[in-house]
């Protein structure tokens, strides 16, 4: 039996975790981490509901949410790695 699939709204990766109104410095970073944490927690909660047999949650929604959280985490790690590498380059520059 094939059931209908409800369309999900997708956002580009950078827009999905970066706040719309960006402040400066540490507050932007903390907002991005909070958004990322929220997405990972929402994914875990959706998985938990599906495993408990909640009929409102489909396997497709669980998989899409899980993959979106995984991609957002990978994006954040790449940004962190890039910033760390840039910091090392600056620190190794001769004065």
**Which residues of the chain carry a pLDDT beneath 50?**
1
**Structural domain total, the chain:** 1
For the chain, state the CA radius of gyration.
18
- Domain-located, residue 16: no
Residue-wise pLDDT for 17-39, tens only, equals: 555 565 566 688 788 889 999 99
- Domain-located, residue 61: yes
- Domain-located, residue 77: yes
Which tokens belong to 53?
């047999």
**50: CB partners within 8 A, 6+ apart:** 57, 58, 59, 62
User: Residue 31's pLDDT is what?
Assistant: 87
User: Residue 61's pLDDT is what?
Assistant: 92
- Domain-located, residue 66: yes
User: Residue 1's pLDDT is what?
Assistant: 47
- H/E/C letters for each residue in 34-91? HHHHHHHHHHHHHHHHHHCCCCCCCHHHHHHHHHHHHHHHHHHHHHHHHHHHHHHHHH
**Full domain range(s) for residue 48:** 26-91
User: Residue 23's pLDDT is what?
Assistant: 54
């Amino acid at each position: 039996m094939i059931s209908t699939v409800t369309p999900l709204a997708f956002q580009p990766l950078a827009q999905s975790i970066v706040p719309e109104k960006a402040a400066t410095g540490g507050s932007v970073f903390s907002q991005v981490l909070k958004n990322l944490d929220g997405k990972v927690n929402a994914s875990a909660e959706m998985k938990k509901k599906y495993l408990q047999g909640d009929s409102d949650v489909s396997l497709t929604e669980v998989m899409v949410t899980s993959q979106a959280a995984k991609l957002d985490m990978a994006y954040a790690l790449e940004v962190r790695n890039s910033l760390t590498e840039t910091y090392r380059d600056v620190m190794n520059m001769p004065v």
